[in-house]
Amino acid sequence: MRVPPYRIKYYVLGFYLLILTAWQALFSAQIIPDFLFPSPLQVARRLWELTSDNYLWPSLKATFQRMGIGFAIAACMGLLIGLLMGMSRVANSCLRSLFLGLQTLPTAAWVPVSLLIFGLSDRGIYFVIIMSSAPAVALAASDGIQHIPLIYLRVARTLGTPGYAMPARVILPASLPSIVTGLKLGWTLAWHGCVSAELIKSSIGLGFLLQMGRELNDAAQVIGIMVLTILFGLLLDRFVFGLMQKRILVRWGLAPKASG
Amino acid sequence: MGDAESNSPAAAGVAPPVKLKLTRVSKTYSNGTQVVEALEPVNLQVRAGEFVIFFGPSGCGKSTLLNIIAGFEDVTDGEVLLDGRPVEGPHHDRLMMFQEHGLFPWLNVIQNVMFGLKRQFRFKPRARRAHARRFLQMVHLGEFERARIHELSGGMKQRVALARALAPDPKVLLVDEPFGALDALTRAKLYGDLQEIHQRTRKTIILVTHDPREAACLGDRVLVFSGRPGRVKADIAISLPRPREINDPVVAECAAGIMAQLEA
């Protein structure tokens, strides 16, 4: 049976209600002791306490600030390196294998080396964010550039576009769909890296609240912060990068037709 | 050897000046051991305002010659002069229109037409837009200036591409089989538009095609190419009155004459 598109959201809502119910049921069954496995209500209450004690807001702000600055730097670096890779075969051959290698590294694996280099300072967190996400952005950008239809470059040349203007006027815009995909992936990786780094290096931030919950043996806080981390990661992914992507696909006429 | 000196100026009386002059232009490709002669030496003079057709089967070197004039390919030997000056590389004074429209999907219709105008109107975006709008109206797409490329039909896309190629006012417009992918009705309409634009702007146009009817319908002059190695076999002046209709029996008869030259 096909579900009409406008009703899908009710199914999604039902799915999450089901998860919450199952969670609550599991809690009520008392199989696991409640200091290890809190109920959804306890988690919500703990998050409320963190908010009213003025713990949550400064930490959220700190994390987003780090992400904003760190990811902006990572995105710029990734784009520049990706542009270089897209336009130079040598640079591409050298850097591609390196970046593919770096990408196999879990983002948390950058934390120890950043501790060694930067100690406990915030610069170390930026370092982790950049190392986690810049390679993904660079790889996506270079892929996009390498797959630009030749016709665009020929048209631009015959219309008299000078070489120095090509990146800004043709090469970057033509690879925009790939670049946004790369930014989206890069954002997720940066988010991983940032929270991982905060676990160990920081006295503020979502990662710090997670670690603090563990130290206080407060399962409700640990799970609550995890839920928040997922939620904000998802929100940004959906509403910033997702919408950007959708907009570009619609403008280019590449958007899939609404399924029906 | 392709001796194709122009002796058929379009207008009677004073002949317009020579716009484009090719002297013994040839092209050979070598892939390691083998040397392939793609184009035997060609001599050609195109006068200002002439509509010249390069006609022939695929692989006859007509597109190669067009690419050479556009500056996308180097000559092996010979010289290409535009207004008496040797050409070097792609330049907007020899604008090329391709088989694929190549419109940029990140820009809307008018922005595409404005793309080649950065130089002429460097600090005057409004003038640039007004100029682009004139050419969009010339191809009868005035109301579509804000449309996205994917919203246009195939024929409309080629007309935007035509407006974009004309807007920077090239000295020579080079057209590489731009109607191949279109249906017959759309094509017939575009033949009319192209002739009208040629009459109005007196632009020098070189168009490549493998369709003899298209050649007869559009050209003041048809150069017939034959293949392997590519060479110019005949240079036919066509003096049918304009505007010509692709389905006119006179055009069909003329096309038959062109085919006969190819097979001769």
Chain A contact for B122, CB < 8 A?
no
Cα distance between the two ends of chain B: 15
Residue A30 is assigned to a structural domain of this protein:
no
Q: Over chain A (260 residues), what is each successive 10-residue block's mean pLDDT? A: 81 93 88 83 92 91 94 96 92 92 90 90 92 95 94 92 91 93 94 92 90 91 93 89 88 64
* Confidence band, pLDDT 50/70/90 cuts, at residue B6: very low
Query: Which of A159, A164, A251 best tests the B interface by mutation, with the highest count of B CBs <10 A?
Result: A159
The closest alpha carbon to B251, from B222, B224, B216, B223, belongs to B216
User: Measuring CA to CA, which residue among B103, B101, B102, B84 is closest to residue B93?
Assistant: B84
From the candidate CATH numbers 3.20.20.60, 3.90.1150.10, 3.40.190.170, 3.40.50.300, the one assigned to the domain spanning B2-93+170-263: 3.40.50.300
Residue A154: both structure tokens together: 């020929």
Among partner residues B92, B119, B150, which is closest to A252 by beta-carbon distance? B150
pLDDT at position A257 is 53
Q: What is the pLDDT of residue B263?
A: 84
**Subunit contact B149:A159, Cβ cutoff 8 A:** no
Tokens of A230: 């997922």
State how far the Cα of A210 lies from the Cα of A198, in Å rounded to an integer.
9
pLDDT surpasses 50 at B164? yes
Asked whether the predicted pLDDT for residue B11 surpasses 50, the reply is no
Beta carbons of A174 and B164 less than 8 Å apart: no
Instruction: Report pLDDT for A36.
Output: 82
Q: Do A158 and B95 touch (CB under 8 A)?
A: yes
Q: Which of residues 155-194 of B touch A (CB under 8 A)?
A: 164-165, 168
ipTM: 0.86
- Please indicate if any CB of chain A lies within 8 Å of the CB of B88: no
Q: What are phi and psi of B21, to 5 degrees?
A: -130, 120
What's the rounded Cα separation, in Å, for the pair B157 and B46? 29
Strand partners, B18: B47
- What span, in angstroms and rounded, lies between the C-alpha atoms of A244 and A236? 11
Which among B96, B106, B150 has CB closest to A173? B106
- The answer as to whether A17 is a domain residue is no
pLDDT at residue number A1: 62
How far apart are the C-alpha atoms of B201 and B215, rounded to whole Å? Answer: 20
Question: CA-to-CA distance for A115 and A120, rounded, in angstroms?
Answer: 6
Find chain A residues with C-beta within 8 A of B107's C-beta: 173
**Looking at the partner chain, which of B106, B116, B149 has a beta carbon nearest the beta carbon of A176?**
B106
Contact A159 B116 (CB under 8 A): yes
Residue by residue, DSSP assigns A204-254 as SSHHHHHHHHHHTT-HHHHHHHHHHHHHHHHHHIIIIIIHHHHHHHHHHT-
Which of A152, A169, A251 minimises the CB distance to B102? A152
Q: Count the domains in chain A.
A: 1
B90 close contact with A: CB closer than 8 A: yes
CA-closest candidate to residue B172, choices B200, B149, B205: B205
Q: Do B95 and A155 touch (CB under 8 A)?
A: no
Tell me what the mean pLDDT of segment B35-50 comes to: 89
Q: Which residue has the tokens 């619609």?
A: A250
Place of tokens 């029996």: B249
d(CA B23, CA B45): 9
Q: What pTM did the predictor assign?
A: 0.83
> How far is residue A185's CA from residue A192's CA, in Å, rounded to a whole number?
11
Closest by CA position to B221, among listed B44, B99, B63, B21: B44
Q: Which amino acid is at B112?
A: N
Alpha carbon distance A208, A63 (integer Å): 10
Q: Is residue A9 part of a domain?
A: no
Is residue A45 classed exposed, middle or buried when 0-12, 13-18 and 19+ CB atoms within 10 A define those classes?
A: middle
Q: How far, in Å, are A6, A103, A176, A185 from residue A136 at the CA level? A: 35, 7, 15, 7
In a domain, A219, yes or no: yes
Supply the range of the domain harboring residue A92.
59-252
Residue A174 sits at the chain B interface (C-beta within 8 Å): yes
* End-to-end CA separation in angstroms for chain A: 12
SS3 call for B118:
coil
The residue written with tokens 């490709």 in the block is B29
Is B91:B71 a contact under the CB 8 Å cutoff? yes
Cβ neighbours of A38 (radius 10 Å): 22
CB-based contact A156 B115, cutoff 8 Å: yes
The pLDDT of residue B59 is: 79
The reply to whether A79 falls in a domain is yes
DSSP readout, A166-189?
HIIIIIHHHTHHHHHHHHHHHHHH
Structure tokens at B205: 């146009």
- Is the pLDDT score of B8 beyond 70? no
Phi, psi dihedrals of residue A250, rounded to the nearest 5°: -65, -45
Alpha-carbon distance of B223 to B234, in angstroms, equals 6
Q: What is the pLDDT of residue B212?
A: 92
Q: How are beta strands B231-237 and B221-226 bridged, if at all?
A: antiparallel
pLDDT in tens, B54-105: 999 887 888 889 999 999 999 999 999 999 899 888 888 999 999 899 999 9
CATH number for the domain harbouring residue A73: 1.10.3720.10
Q: How many residues does chain B have?
A: 264
Listed in sequence order, the DSSP H helices in A88-205 are: 89-104, 110-118, 122-146, 150-158, 166, 172-174, 176-201
Tell me if chain B has a CB within 8 Å of the CB of A155.
Answer: yes
How many Cβ atoms sit within 10 Å of the Cβ of residue B256?
A: 13
* Domain-embedded: residue A118: yes
Which H or E run includes A83?
helix A56-87
* pLDDT tens digits along A84-136: 999 899 999 999 999 999 988 999 999 999 999 998 888 999 999 999 999 99
The confidence score (pLDDT) of residue A206 equals: 93
Closest residue in B to A252 (Cα) is B105
Domain assignment present for residue A232? The answer is: yes
pLDDT in tens, B111-145: 999 999 987 777 788 889 999 999 999 999 999 99
Confidence of residue B7 (pLDDT cuts 50, 70, 90): very low
What amino acid is encoded at B41 in this protein?
P
Using the structure block, give the residue that is written with the tokens 């016709």: A151
Phi, psi of A175 (to 5 degrees): -105, 15
A78 within 8 A of A134, measured Cβ to Cβ: yes
Contact across the interface for B105 and A157, Cβ inside 8 Å: no
**B175-199: pLDDT as tens digits:** 998 887 788 888 888 899 999 999 9
Question: Which tokens is A129 given?
Answer: 């964010």
Tens digit of pLDDT for each residue in B221-247?
A: 999 998 778 888 889 999 888 889 888
